[in-house]
Chain A
Amino acid sequence: MSVIRLHDEADALQVDLYLESLLAARARQPRQVEGLDLDAEERAAAELLAERFVRFHPSFRFEEALAARLRAATGGRKVPSAVTPLPSAVVLGPDDRSARARRRVLIGGAIASGVSLAGAALFAWRAASTPRTPFGRAARAAHHGRAVTLRKGA
């Protein structure tokens, strides 16, 4: 391995450590990470990306339509030919890392804090609860070890 490459990897490791701290701190207050010899412009770029690269979430209607299609596929029910394209209003998404729940998310074309929305509660409830719809119960009862049935081309 060449000296240049080793130097490159050492620098990359420093950047990696910095990004780890930066992203971990995003849910709390941004803070300076000490002890890393990092270029000021690279640091500023990382902070801008961490701040401005928000996570998008599909519209509620799209999410539900696809969920229904997946349920139909697992239950062997007739699958719609395609999920109808719907307007993509972006809503708060459930983040699998609760510590980062306060990150910015894009909601209906605007940026807002995740915890401030009732939608978060709705999603959390939905994620935690088991399906209670008549179809869900019927599909579960009918399933009993049936293999995945997915129409060709789906």
Chain B
Amino acid sequence: MEAARRNPLDFEPLYRKYVGQVYSFAIYELRDPHRAEDLTEGVFLRALAALPRFHERGEGDGSSFRIWLFRIARNLVANERRHDRRHPQTGLDQVFEHIATDGPAARAEDREEMELAWRAIDRLPEERRRALVLRFVEEMSTAEIAAILGRSEGAVRVLIHRALRSVAADLQRGMGGRR
């Protein structure tokens, strides 16, 4: 990280390490592969431009660079949300098309469960959904999520618990409806 700050040419390893995580976060937030690519591009270009102002305060998995990167991503998503208010939002169907499994019938169950999970989090308030995605997809610690969302660790734990409770109730209803 320090090397990249001193010499921007060393930024590439950081980009390679985090590009999948940022893109994935963008997909879960925006549900549109093309917009996710645009957002990923924006995040890394902004990070590169702002790199001289960044100061590392950790190492390895505790690196504050990832937190900083996701804060940039969160801000760009907020800009996108403002755009969404003026334009129709992308539906979940586009995501399912993107992640469609083209395999044999055995995969139909995979797809069904994935859709169920997506639809369950889709009904959550934005911050709860984001906390779940950071926890489950990005596998971040509560401390990292707290730093990204600007909340206390206790608040994030409660946020995640409530989100999980909502998802559980929703899944129960969904499964009941299928029986």
A residues touching B (Cβ–Cβ < 8 Å)? Answer: 8-9, 11-13, 15-16, 19-20, 23, 39, 41-42, 44-46, 48-58, 62-63, 66-67, 69-71, 73-75, 82-83, 85-86, 88, 90, 93-97, 100, 106, 109-111, 123, 126-127, 131, 139-140, 143, 145, 147-148, 150, 154
Contacts and interface: CB of A to CB of B under 8 A. Distances in A.
9 contacts: A20-B141, A45-B120, A52-B113, A73-B45, A88-B34, A88-B98, A110-B102, A111-B101, A127-B16
A152 to B, nearest CB: 10
Given A73-B8, A110-B107, A143-B7, 4 more contacts: A15-B157, A58-B37, A58-B40, A90-B98
A88 B51 CA distance: 28
A49 B132 CA distance: 9
A106 B161 CA distance: 27
Interface stretch (B18-26, B67-75, B76-84, B85-93): B18-26
A20 B143 CA distance: 12
Contacts of B37: 58, 62, 83, 85-86, 88
B165 A42 contact: yes
B168 A39 contact: yes
Nearest to A104: B110
Contacts of B24: 55-57, 93
A49 B133 CA distance: 9
A85 B37 CA distance: 8
Contacts of A63: 19
Contacts, number: 184
A74 B139 CA distance: 30
Nearest to B110: A111
B113 to A, nearest CB: 5
A2 to B, nearest CB: 13
B139 A100 contact: yes
Contacts of B135: 19, 23
A95 B34 CA distance: 22
B45 A148 contact: no
Contacts of B36: 56, 58, 88
